Structure 1
């Protein structure tokens, strides 16, 4: 495994508030390693923080896996949050602004979705939830001909 892959590939438990800090640190380090700019790092870390907190609070804990991905868009970072909690009975409603199943403001899932490039959620009541997000490192614009 290359040094870059080792710095990016991780599997972290989410069982306590301390784990939330570790998730944020890992995501920021991995995004920086892959060449994400500060704004994209901040968006991804914010989304990861929201999703990790949801995993802990609403999913009774779980884990996150981080992985480097690459395609025609360039390099990206994929985060997969998995829990075995009660699941989400109405995913579309949960993604809407203002919806909350707890004491929060209801910006978690919908806000996280807006902060990343790709977002999928799979939830089965009684069996848990998996949320996968991917963000892509911005590539510098190509110079125009004649420049």
Structure 2
């Protein structure tokens, strides 16, 4: 597939994910859109689906080869697991964990919050319990106390 077609399919995949169009996501993946891709702002389809709590699209993208730990964006986003945990999207969190997402991976290239930090700060107790059961550990007392604080 040529570079131009791949770029076009990637953009369409991010758009389909943004609006939650599972049928279109599947069609684009079958047409050759790479599951591990990003738009011009660095947003990955997996991050977008996770933040939206669309566990069905999360599973399809993971099955198609999207990495569960790829950080999205250029600073205002983060990892898919952090995005899902922040909003308490427990089924998206479950899908990411089932596909090997690291429950202790800190966003902002290792300097930000963990998924457990986001779930706890968002008062999503059930999500926090699921993360803890998957091995998530609380942030050390010496770690930054807020998102983006390095």
TM-score with structure 2 setting the length: 0.30
More helix by share: 2
Q: Which has the higher contact order (CA 8 A, sep 6+)?
A: 1
TM-score with structure 1 setting the length: 0.30
Please tell me whether Structure 1 or Structure 2 has the larger radius of gyration of its CA atoms.
Answer: 1
